[in-house]
Amino acid sequence: MEFLALLTESKTQAFFLLLLRFAGIFAFFPFFDSGLIPVSLRGALAFFMSVLFFYTLPPTSLELGIVDFLLAGAMELLFGFLASLVLQIIFSTIAFAGDSISFSMGLTMASAYDPATGSQKPIVGQVLMMLALLIALQTNFHHLIFSFVAQSLSEIPLGHFGANHNLFEVIVYNFANLFSIGFAMAFPILGMILLTDIIFGMIMKTHPQFNLLAIGFPVKIALAIAVIIVIIPSIMHNFKYHLNLGFELLEKIF
């Protein structure tokens, strides 16, 4: 009843804009956008968090018209989408590294259904992505998101978000770095497989009877799996480092 008593006409508009901001967060941010989380649950979570954060809103009075309110609501959803792009790029580096490793190992056809995205993905990439999600949750990834929302409420009042060219420049720059970071994560395996291919090529040149299909491919896959086991801590440490940089970047550009 106390909550309902606070919902005056101006406060009602603020609550719905806050609900739309959380809706954008839960719709586009990594982990929350997983297909394993039902839409109804995400909607309920957005409403619950809006009620909790409603008491922390700075004093504000919104009396927007219908058109202005619809535009403000669309900008709140755009806020969640643009903020999620920064973190989605960081998670995409893991996906790019996993796809590169699978292709170089010859395991591209060894794919399985990924319920999180609803598509077929290489098994190596799925394992790396699940480890990345576990590392993110272990580092209080979800708490950092809520802290970011709380800070954004004071820095960007509800209904006053506007995308600028600096924001798009940062997103494009980080998207360009996606491939270099992903390649750096996968480079030890790619380099080892390239060296293995060179050695097998030299063996086949000197011993034409060498059966590459029967011996070469299993040996290459076994060596790649051994190297993956060794360098997984380094990959996850690199991912954790860039994830922290991503949140620092969100605090600067929003």
Instruction: Kindly state the tokens that stand for 165.
Output: 């060219």
Rounded CA gap, 52 and 50, in Å? 5
Lowest average pLDDT, out of 80-94, 101-115, 194-208, 227-241, goes to 101-115
CA dist 165 and 178 (Å) reads 20
Mean pLDDT value across residues 214-222: 79
28-58 b/e (C-beta count within 10 Å ≥ 16 → b): bbbbbbeeeeeeeebeebbeebbeebbeebe
Q: What is the pLDDT of residue 42?
A: 86
Q: How far is CA 253 from CA 86, 101, 161, 248, in A?
A: 10, 33, 12, 9
Across 25-34, 52-61, 97-106, least confident range: 52-61
Q: How many domains does the chain have?
A: 1
Q: Give CA–CA dist 81/79, Å, rounded.
A: 5
What's the pLDDT band for 158 if we cut at 50, 70, 90? confident
DSSP summary character for residue 113? E
Q: How many CB atoms lie within 10 A of CB 94?
A: 26
Q: Count CB neighbours of 143 within 10 A.
A: 10
Which pLDDT score is estimated for 254?
A: 66
Mean pLDDT is lowest, of 71-85, 134-148, 197-211, for 197-211
Q: Which domain holds residue 115?
A: 2-253
Give dist(CA 26, CA 17) in Å, integer: 14
User: Is 62:17 a contact under the CB 8 Å cutoff?
Assistant: yes
Residue 149 reports pLDDT greater than 70: yes
Looking at per-residue pLDDT, the higher value among 5 and 205 belongs to: 205
Q: How confident is the model at residue 1 (pLDDT cuts 50, 70, 90)?
A: very low
Q: How confident is the model at residue 61 (pLDDT cuts 50, 70, 90)?
A: low
Length of the chain: 254
User: Taking the mean position of all CA atoms in its chain, how far away is CA 21?
Assistant: 18
pLDDT reading at 175 higher than 80: no
pTM of the model as a whole: 0.80
Between 3 and 89, where is the model more confident? 89
Mean pLDDT over the full length of the chain: 80
> From CA 218, how far away is CA 216, in angstroms rounded?
6
Beta bridge partners of 121: 112
Q: In this predicted model, what pLDDT tens digit does every residue of 92-125 receive, in sequence order?
A: 888 888 888 888 887 766 676 776 666 777 788 8
Indicate the helix (H) or strand (E) that contains 114.
Answer: strand 111-114
pLDDT, average across residues 116-138: 81
Sign of CA dihedral 175, 90, 87, 225: positive
Asked which of 126-135, 154-163, 229-238 is least confident by mean pLDDT, the reply is 154-163
Residue 253 or 19, more confident: 19
pLDDT at 4 over 60: no
Encoded tokens for 77? 């959803």
pLDDT at 129 over 80: yes
**Cα–chain center distance at 36:** 15
Query: Are residues 31 and 133 in contact, defined by beta-carbon separation less than 8 angstroms?
Result: yes
